[in-house]
Amino acid sequence: MLCLRILRDNTLSLTIGDGIKNMECWICGDIADSREHLIKASDIRGYFGNISKERPLYKHTDATDTSINYRINSTKSNILKLKSSICQKCNNQLTQLYDCAWEILSRYLQAEWPTIVKKGHFSFSNVFTEDTRRYALRTHLYFVKLFGCKILEEKVPINTGRLSEALIFEKPHSQVFLTFANAPEIPVDDDQIIFSSRIQFGNYDSCLPDIALWTYMLHPVSIRISYLSRSSPHEYRSRAWHPSQPSTQVRLGNYHVSAVK
């Protein structure tokens, strides 16, 4: 889990778990010599402003532990990244367009969120005025990439083969859905929190997980990423968006903690 927030003295608070050892890139099989941000660096900068020695981040060992462990002076710090599970070529070249698409959508959601909440929906056509469906697909693929990295980091027993195929061939993953929701107020002094949960997973008709959920939040903008098989309860698909859907309009779902029933 990772959680970021500004403290009263204008420092930032962060919580993140341990990761995995060096390995092969899960996308292409080359040497994993690159590390993915658990929260995108542009999201951290856009939400909190620039991070520096004068306005640092602090890593905490636990979400409830207020003791300071590590000082972080830049969003490039490895403390903000997952362990190496991806190669530089896949992280920088293959998936760069996916990162850029999410960065554009993220900025739009942050700027327009009060209006979006009032309407109960937003449209990708207002975010990407040209080639709308392709750019919407790329936002989906950004979370496919992050999901694959988290699967390995957290040792979730889900095969990443179809995830890598989706990224390489720029096509949607049929089982990965996004649910956008308005998060409730959080009982902290500043009400500013960036959050990435651990993956919760379970099974219904298989020995291996056929459902997995996790949350990526730039409070109050919340995105639940869902990996759903055909046997997963229909309720998890309610108001969930998938790039195969005919409409570019996305309805907001109900916010709840990403927990598997």
pLDDT for position 14:
40
Taking residues 86-110, what's their average pLDDT?
Answer: 97
Quick one: average pLDDT of 215-240? 91
pLDDT digits (tens, 9 = 90+) for 244-256: 999 999 999 988 7
Check pLDDT > 90 for residue 239.
yes
Q: What is the mean pLDDT of residues 185-189?
A: 68
Higher pLDDT, 49 or 59: 49
Average pLDDT of the residues in 23-45: 92
Domain membership flag for residue 9? yes
Residue bearing the bigger pLDDT, 61 or 188: 188
Buried b (16+ CB within 10 A) or exposed e, 229-249: beebeeebeeebbbbeeeebe
Flag whether 256 is in a domain. Answer: no
Predicted pLDDT of residue 235 = 87
**Shortest CA distance to 12 belongs to which of 72, 76, 79?**
72
Determine the Cα–Cα distance for residues 261 and 259; give it in Å rounded to an integer: 6
C-beta of residue 87 within 8 angstroms of C-beta of residue 215: no
Is 261 part of a structural domain of the chain? no
Note the pLDDT tens digit of each residue in 117-165: 999 999 999 999 999 999 999 999 999 999 999 999 999 999 999 999 9
Q: φ, ψ for residue 139 (rounded to 5)?
A: -65, -40
- pLDDT recorded at residue 168: 98
pLDDT confidence tier of residue 190, bands split at 50, 70 and 90: low
Q: Looking at residue 109, what is its pLDDT?
A: 98
Range of the domain at 141: 2-251
What per-residue confidence (pLDDT) applies to 38? 86
Q: What is the mean pLDDT of residues 90-106?
A: 97
- Check whether 226 has a pLDDT greater than 90: yes
Tell me if 259 is assigned to some domain.
no
| Any domain includes 202 | yes
Tell whether 198 is covered by a domain.
yes
| Per-position DSSP letters for 130-184, written without gaps between them | SSHHHHHHHHHHHHHHHHHHHHHHTT-----HHHHHHHHHT---TTEEEEEEEPP
Residue 260 lies in a domain: no
How many domains would you assign to the chain?
A: 1
DSSP 8-class letter at 238: T
Encode burial over 160-184: b for 16+ CB neighbours within 10 A, e otherwise: beebbebbeeeebbebbbbbbbbbe
Any domain includes 233? yes
